[in-house]
Structure 1
Amino acid sequence: MHILFLTDNFPPEGNAPATRTYEHAREWVKLGHKVTIITGAPNFPEGKVFDGYKNRWYSKSELDGIEVRRVKTYITANEGFAKRILDFMSFMVTSFFAGIFVKKPDVIVGTSPQFFTAVSAWALSAIRFKPFVFELRDIWPASITAVGAMGRSLPIRILEKIEVFLYWRADKIISVTHSFKKELIERGVDGNKIDVVLNGVDLSKYEPAPKKDEGFAEQYDLTDKFVVGYVGTHGLAHSLDKIVEAAELLVDLNDVRILFAGGGAAKAEVEALVKEKGLSNVTLIPRQQKELMPKLWSLCDISLISLKDTELFKTVIPSKIFESMGMGLPMIMTSPIGEATTILTESHSGIIVKPESPEDVARVIRELYQDRTRLDKLATSSAKAAQIYDRKQLAESMLNKMLEIK
């Protein structure tokens, strides 16, 4: 089967959509299928083209047997509604024209979070008479209003109509959470065409680290420190200001460090708050290349996962859960009770804390710092749970769902 896959994020970008798409496509190629990716120049989340790349109208390359075709887009940082929409729409147009020239695809996939990529995939499927698969990674545009970026204005209502159109026209919807499937069914979408393939972790690259990476530890003065790490995109959805407040409550623990690693729309706010409060127990690390992530994770004794106290985020499963499991890290999750918290509870791999509660976060960090036996039990359970979310198995599951409609 020839899979034409449209995504606006792909390696060397290291965010969740890029990682999932690459790791799935790599496994599909190993299983004997052809995969063509259409994407843009890597620039997420800072909106700056990565070294070694240019924002060209068209280029072609290969990565682990995957054919990668990059197209020109309007590039902006991951902030600001109007500019981001221009970014998304530009990729919709250029990816559509690039897709016309891909020879003999059997199925066309468009992935969210934003759905303009899926619009392009649907249009290509319509003119080429091929099945259209919508990989649903987020309920968008509801996530825009959930973080307070916009109210339910006319543009949002228009986007909602496009969203519903895509659900109805898709031959298959691959949802990354059971909650998304449930919501779509409640909105009248045929549940028989919705399958769930959760996110996962590449267990060939992620495993419990026997010690902290010496290079990173020395560079950031984290040798022999007890590190609680927030690793990943610093977005408006993550209430990272509350994590900074929690760090302020832990300044008396001399060898405890709160680590923020990554980039995104809220990165500047975090840096400003840390400077304003004069916190010496907070370590800030910029976004790292994807291949360095296991070494970066090795710095952590606890993985910290944070989401805003918003109804929509009951349905979200942060991908860093699975990387944390791959590394055998215990987790502290400050999030609304929902599908993600259920994963931690059932696997006994972490502790759930009331969202946007710095006092509770600080209290649990203090408790685990003092109770290493409990910490070790959580770590053991976390590593064991990783086997359930092996990316190789999940890639095969998604492939089988697509083969059903070929």
Structure 2
Amino acid sequence: MSRICIIYPESSTPQTGMGGRHHYLARELVRLGHDVTVVAARWHHLLRDGVDTDALPAEEVVEGYRFVRIDVPKYAHAHDRRRVLAWLVFAAKLPALRRRLAAAPDVVLYSSPHPVGYPGAERLARACGARLVFEVRDIWPLTLIEIGGYSPRHPFIRFLQWIEDRAYARADRVVSNLEGAVEHMVARGMDRDKFTWVSSGIALDEVAAPAPLSPEVAAQIPADGLRIVYTGTLGTANALDTLIEAAALLRDLPDVHILLVGQGRARADLEARRDALGLTNVRFIGPVPKPQVQSVLAACDVCYIGWLKSPLYRWGIAANKVPDYLFSGRPIIHGFSGGNDPVGKFDAGLTVPAEDPEALANAIRRIHAMPETERRRMGENGRRAALAHYDYAQLARRLEEVLTG
């Protein structure tokens, strides 16, 4: 048995947020016989609306692992500059975490998206004589440079770059859910042998027995026709404006329905664009609880996921919805111009260039005209891939080798 400390500032439990990657990995590591603690900020923007963070316990046990919260300043939203202050406070408090842990950890894993907390995690690990693992789920500061438009010479970007390079040099092991990220890391000076790919995944016990849809949501899904669904955050990075533009090219197919299930800062702009184009084939449905996602997908015919046309994605993608979509058994239309494309790899749907409404509309026409047997074949390919490669129980065993090897 090893004592494992997983530090991710924006982690949550299923009761307070999505739960997500570290909840499932921690749960599975406990089942493998390890003592696991997950450390997160008490408040962050990924928590569910309405959660009273002040009333949350400093520590609690969740499905066998310990969940520890660190107090940080609150901020308004993901793009609020005070979010950086929360990062810095969280990082500063990590070395003192040793006093809150029941026993010194054998291994400390620090997970980005942002690497600001890594130096604090490094100090904690060294003080405890623990193995140190750095997990990269978004490549920062590269994401801020190539997507956010920041200059590499910006002082904060240089600070983040110093942290990233330090982590690659000093961490005992490095993991990522981006399959191709190793090439970027090696270019930044990392020893290739440190790297292990541990993808995003699915919890089979949840996706195999999804919760039924509420009557309000079920009533908004058309009973027939070709129902194309997107589930998740309605944000600019998801290329949903491309989907709206493609819908405008499909007016001659009245039985094609495009459903956007979720919430996000881009929703108002997307609805305004739909209305400006006079589209009747696009519906916005609010967010549904994660246990209902598979029920939404089962009520539709095709899944959509899109990305911006950015060189950042040359290292691959790791959206949580990809394993969910694959497991659904529905073909996927993928607007993507990067590397390591899972849809193409598993022949689980159609991939078209990112941010290309005409190509996307043509892919929808192909799916619309496709025999049901061919749609079913692609969907079954995706389901097999999900079971073979994205089960969190299997992924936890791969991570266990990194943490304890």
CA deviation vs aligned residue, 1:322-342 (integer Å, no higher than 9, x gap): 111111121111111311x2x
- Which residue of 2 is the match for residue 260 of structure 1? 260
Please tell me whether the aligned partners of residues 24 and 395 of structure 1 are also in contact (alpha carbons under 8 angstroms).
yes
* Structure 1 residues 5-404: aligned runs within 5 Å: 5-7=6-8, 8-12=10-14, 18-41=19-42, 43-45=44-46, 50-55=49-54, 59-76=58-75, 78-80=77-79, 82-104=81-103, 105-152=105-152, 153-207=154-208, 213=213, 215=215, 217-317=217-317, 318-339=319-340, 341=341, 343-371=342-370, 372-388=372-388, 389-404=390-405
Q: Deviations over 1:237-283 (max 9, x none)?
A: 22221121112222333232212222344334323323433432222
- Provide the C-alpha distance between the structure 2 equivalents of 1:263 and 1:62, rounded to a whole number of angstroms: 30
- Mean CA deviation greater in 187-196 or 83-92: 83-92
- Tell me, in whole angstroms, the C-alpha distance in 1 between the residues paired with 2:142 and 2:171: 19
Structure 1 stretch displaced more, 326-335 or 244-253: 244-253
The answer on whether the counterparts of 2:315 and 2:338 sit within 8 Å (CA) in structure 1 is no
Which blocks of at least 5 consecutive residues in structure 2 are unaligned?
none
CA contact (8 A) 1:100 1:124 kept: no
More deviation in 382-391 or 78-87?
78-87
Please report how far the alpha carbon of residue 43 of structure 1 lies from its aligned counterpart in structure 2 after TM superposition.
4.8
Q: Alpha-carbon deviations, 1:296-323, whole Å to 9, x = none?
A: 3323311111111111112132232211
Contact 1:141 1:156 in 2 (8 A): yes
Percent identity for Structure 1 against Structure 2: 28
**Any conservation in 1 of the 2:227–2:259 contact (CA below 8 Å)?**
yes
Q: How far apart are the structure 2 equivalents of 1:292 and 1:327?
A: 12
Post-superposition Cα deviations, 1:140-175, rounded to whole Å, max 9, x if no partner, equal 111112223533323212211121112212111112
Tell me by how many angstroms 1:387 deviates.
Answer: 1.8
SS in 2 for 1:363: helix
Map Cα deviations across residues 211-254 of structure 1 (whole Å, 9 max, x no partner): x9473553324333422122123334222211211122223332
CA contact (8 A) 1:9 1:42 kept: no
CA distance in 2, matches of 1:2, 1:246: 51
Q: Aligned AA for 1:11?
A: T
Cα separation, 2, equivalents of 1:99 and 1:290: 33
Secondary structure of the 2:204 match is: coil
Question: What secondary structure is seen at the aligned counterpart in 1 of 2:11?
Answer: coil
Taking structure 1 as reference, are residues 364 and 72 closer, same or farther at Cα in structure 2, changes over 3 Å only? Answer: same
Cα distance change of structure 1 residues 168 and 308 upon mapping to structure 2, 3 Å threshold: same
TM-score by length of 2: 0.89
Distance 1:208 1:33 in 2: 27
Partner of 1:116: helix, strand, or coil? coil
RMSD between superposed Cα atoms in Å:
2.6
CA distance in 1, matches of 2:293, 2:42: 21
Q: CA deviation at 1:78?
A: 4.8
CA distance in 1, matches of 2:360, 2:268: 22
Name the stretch that deviates more: 131-140 or 149-158.
149-158
CA change 1:135–1:166 in 2 (3 A) is same
CA distance in 2 between partners of 1:99 and 1:247 (Å): 54
Other structure's SS at 2:81 match:
helix
Cα distance in 2 for residues equivalent to 1:232 and 1:124: 35
- 3-state DSSP class of the match of 1:395? helix
Between the aligned partners of 2:86 and 2:307, the Cα distance in structure 1 is 25
Letter in 1 for 2:246: A
SS at match of 1:369: helix
Q: How far, CA to CA, are the matches of 1:133 and 1:191 in structure 2?
A: 14
In the aligned structure 2, how far is the partner of 1:77 from the partner of 1:291? Answer: 27
Change (3 A) 1:68 1:308: same
In structure 1, the gaps of 5 or more residues are none
